[in-house]
Amino acid sequence: MSAYLTIDFPADQSSSPKAECHLIVMTESHDVLSGDEAQQSEAKQEAAAIGFKASGGNSHLMSSASGLLLIVGIGEAPTSKLAAEKAGAHLYNAMRKSTKISAVMTSISLDASLAASLLSGAMSQSYEFNRYFTKKEETKQLHLSVVASDKAVQTDFADAEAMLKGVFLARDLVTEPANSLYPGEFVRHIEGLKHLGLEIEVLGETEMEALGMGALLGVGQGSSRDSYMAIMKWNGGGDEQPLAFVGKGVCFDTGGISLKPAKGMEDMKWDMGGAAAVTGAMCAIAARGLKKNVVGIVGLVENMPDGMAQRPGDVVTSMSGQTIEVINTDAEGRLVLADCLTYCQQEFKPQMIIDLATLTGAIIVALGKEYAGLFANDDSLSTQIVEAGQQVEEKCWPMPMGDAYDKMLKSHIADMKNIGGPWGGSITAACFLERFIDDGMKWAHIDIAGKAWADSEGHAHPGGGTGFGVRLLNQVVDNWQS
């Protein structure tokens, strides 16, 4: 739902604000990164005396001449932004273990950008989704006041906090169950972003029918919920052609008539992880006020078995005019994306398109849960995405495509089938999407099936919905050279 840690920079930075204790940040070699000189030396003595292990996440409360000191262990001293975020996650875990809920942090001896990353890592780690618990466990709201002489700490943190707004939105959307987050409700979340300056346009089933989006509409026809396409526009870059992001938003995927097995089907509430990432990224781009034109498009459907549902063997006509034989109704994400990609190109003629989707289980077979799978028709775009991913710890691994895979999509009665053979399922899925990309259009597809959800704690997130993709897409925009 939100961050359990709030951070502020008191206006009057000369006097220490009221807080229960002073936060003393300590590395595992007992270097102290915050607090005045007297506090630092008292903390060091105490830590040595009690054998305090300042590996990540430990805390110790002590009294001193200047009041209570809360020593928090962050492991190794951070020397990069990513390491500082990880240290921040340890800082939050340590604060969380203490009985104190408010602290003040002064005299930070880290570069401004590292200090800001430390704080944003702590905030990112403090995310929790608790709206369905009726018996509130101990959900204590923590607060940290930061007194920093270098103003850059505050400005860097403001940018990181705007980013986290988008990350948390994506985590919320991914975590929300499908009886509450169906396509129409997803649209309401998107419309709630108008106040950030995003222009929102929504296509309902009538409009999509008129545009010939038979591929997307076929997926949703077995659901009692209406299907939608939502378009978010950020105009920060004058009259330049926009960068475009497209997301798969299958709010629940039963597999349709090609029904999935019962075991683990509950995970399919996050089959809208691509749409969540694009929506979160657009939220962050607007909140950060980027000086670029960016458009985000999400296709929102629910894939259900029903008397009206699409059958295996049905042939549908996509907006591009190409026909598709639907061999397996569980390969539905690509059908949704196909019409989104066509609409995106016809309407916006973007400089490039990146689509994100929890598209195939096969990508988890190939890459495990460490990397997202990256497919691209342009080497420079591929390199930019890989590099952006390394900068924000949202890593992507380039995968192959090509004619040998593409020809597996041959159908006997339509332009293509929606699945290939038994092997290389992530690759044939990417080849399917490429058939909807116009000549000369730079395009990349990122299969995030292994990254949208984490069973355990990761890089500055507590587990569950990760928000993967929000920071990646923002970094791509930040780095973009047209």
Task: Identify the residue among 161, 330, 339, 447 touching Zn ion (CB under 5 A).
Answer: 330
**Residue 384: alpha-carbon gap to chain centroid:** 18
Instruction: Give the nearest residue (CB) to Zn ion.
Output: 330
Distance CA 381, CA 243 (A): 12
Does 253 bind Zn ion (CB under 5 A)? Our answer is: yes
Question: Is the distance from CB of 153 to CB of 106 less than 8 angstroms?
Answer: no
Does 302 bind Zn ion (CB under 5 A)? Our answer is: no
**Exposure on the CB side of residue 28, measured as CA atoms within 13 A:** 8
**Footprint on residues 35-64 left by Zn ion (CB under 5 A):** none
**Footprint on residues 62-101 left by Zn ion (CB under 5 A):** none
Which stretch in 81-89, 158-166, 330-338, 443-451 sits in contact with Zn ion by CB under 5 A?
Answer: 330-338
Distance CA 316, CA 314 (A): 7
Binding mask 119-158 for Zn ion (x = CB under 5 A): ----------------------------------------
For Zn ion, which is the closer residue by CB, 253 or 355?
Answer: 253
CB of 289 to Zn ion, least distance (A): 37
For Zn ion, which is the closer residue by CB, 264 or 321?
Answer: 264
Which stretch in 13-21, 93-101, 246-254, 313-321 sits in contact with Zn ion by CB under 5 A?
Answer: 246-254
Does 406 bind Zn ion (CB under 5 A)? Our answer is: no
For Zn ion, which is the closer residue by CB, 32 or 419?
Answer: 419
CB of 15 to Zn ion, least distance (A): 58
Q: Give residue 376's region: left, alpha or beta (phi > 0; psi -120 to 50).
A: beta
Active site residues: 260, 334
Question: Is the distance from CB of 156 to CB of 123 less than 8 angstroms?
Answer: no
Which stretch in 28-36, 314-322, 324-332, 383-391 sits in contact with Zn ion by CB under 5 A?
Answer: 324-332
CB of 255 to Zn ion, least distance (A): 6
**Helix%, strand%, coil% for the chain, nearest 5:** 35, 20, 40
Distance CA 77, CA 473 (A): 28
Which stretch in 71-79, 194-202, 322-330, 399-407 sits in contact with Zn ion by CB under 5 A?
Answer: 322-330
Closest CA to 305 of 224, 214, 205: 224
- List residues bridging with 294 in a β-sheet: 234, 243
Distance CA 253, CA 125 (A): 29
CB of 66 to Zn ion, least distance (A): 59
Distance CA 327, CA 217 (A): 16
**Residue 160: alpha-carbon gap to chain centroid:** 14
Binding site for Zn ion (CB under 5 A): 253, 330, 332
